[in-house]
């Protein structure tokens, strides 16, 4: 692993990955992405984990791409390496929750959007400031943001570089839920445990199905669902049997 720039803590099937540069508001560097990529790669091989939470240490999720690194001409393994790392996380065959408190700007928003959905604390603030710095997205903003909130809203956020509240993020569909900061940790745990109670087979199959049919017309999507259905999981009989014994 690349130091402790991203930490991992496991508990009962839940893996919590934490962006761990709190003295710099978790500003994103090549080293931090390398650590994230290492953890994500390990999670592909770890069947003991059924749900992943990505969050930030200290005051916020992340203030975004480290501008000092950009100014110094950061060195990356390839032009698309950051984007590839987030795509690797996005395609994990297990649910990934971005738990956002405080700042979540630009590159940090691109990271959060690569999760399956976002839970926001009331303190969360979101924004895309690429245009403020004469930059253009290369980590996925132009593709994931409009898919989440619609193209007109994505344009508004990208053109204005406006910072929006957690409540506004929920209103436009960027965040799935907003909770008070004091209840944030509990809400994350409860959501993860609710997910873990269900079949990991179904989670993986549903992620692949949704990925394959996103933005398709409904008829071709329905055909894909029928022809590429993954059937039932090995845990089906045990789950149904447990339910029947309760009734």
> In this structure, are 157 and 232 located in the same domain?
no
Domain count for the chain: 2
Domain, as residue range, for 208: 200-246
> In this structure, are 174 and 204 located in the same domain?
no
**Domain-embedded: residue 104:** yes
CB-based contact 104:60 (threshold 8 Å): yes
In this prediction, residue 1 has a pLDDT band, given cuts at 50, 70 and 90, of very low
**Domain-embedded: residue 1:** no
CATH number for 28: 3.90.226.10
> In this structure, are 128 and 163 located in the same domain?
yes
Q: For 56-103, what is each residue's pLDDT tens digit?
A: 999 999 999 998 777 777 788 888 999 999 999 999 999 999 999 999
Rounded Cα distance between 152 and 4, Å, is: 39
> In this structure, are 136 and 213 located in the same domain?
no
For the whole model, what pTM was predicted? 0.94
**Domain-embedded: residue 52:** yes
> In this structure, are 131 and 153 located in the same domain?
yes
> In this structure, are 209 and 154 located in the same domain?
no
Q: In terms of DSSP bridges, do strands 6-11 and 125-127 run parallel, antiparallel, or are they unpaired?
A: unpaired
Render 124-188 in DSSP notation, one character per residue.
-EEE--GGGGT----SSHHHHHHHHH-HHHHHHHHHH---EEHHHHHHTTS-SEEE-GGGHHHHH
> In this structure, are 233 and 154 located in the same domain?
no
């Amino acid at each position: 692993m690349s130091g402790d720039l991203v930490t991992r803590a496991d508990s009962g099937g839940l893996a919590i990955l934490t962006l761990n540069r709190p003295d710099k508001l978790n500003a994103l560097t090549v080293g931090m992405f390398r650590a994230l990529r290492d953890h994500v790669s390990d999670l592909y091989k770890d069947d003991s984990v059924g749900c992943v939470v990505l969050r930030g240490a200290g005051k916020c999720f992340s203030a975004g791409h480290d501008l000092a690194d950009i100014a110094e001409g950061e060195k990356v393994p390839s032009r698309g390496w950051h984007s590839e790392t987030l795509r690797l996380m996005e395609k994990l065959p297990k649910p990934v929750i971005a738990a956002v408190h405080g700042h979540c700007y630009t590159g940090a928003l691109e990271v959060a959007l690569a999760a399956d959905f976002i839970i926001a604390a009331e303190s969360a603030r979101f924004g895309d400031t690429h245009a403020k710095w004469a930059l253009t997205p290369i980590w996925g903003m132009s593709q994931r943001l409009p898919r989440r909130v619609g193209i007109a809203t994505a344009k508004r956020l990208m053109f204005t570089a406006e910072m929006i509240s957690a409540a506004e993020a929920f209103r436009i569909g960027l965040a799935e839920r907003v909770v008070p900061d004091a209840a944030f940790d509990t809400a994350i745990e409860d959501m993860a445990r609710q997910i873990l109670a269900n079949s990991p087979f179904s989670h993986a199959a549903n992620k692949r199905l949704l990925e394959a049919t996103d933005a398709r017309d409904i008829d071709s999507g329905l055909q894909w669902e029928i022809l590429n259905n993954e059937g039932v999981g090995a845990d089906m009989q045990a789950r149904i049997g447990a339910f029947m014994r309760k009734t």
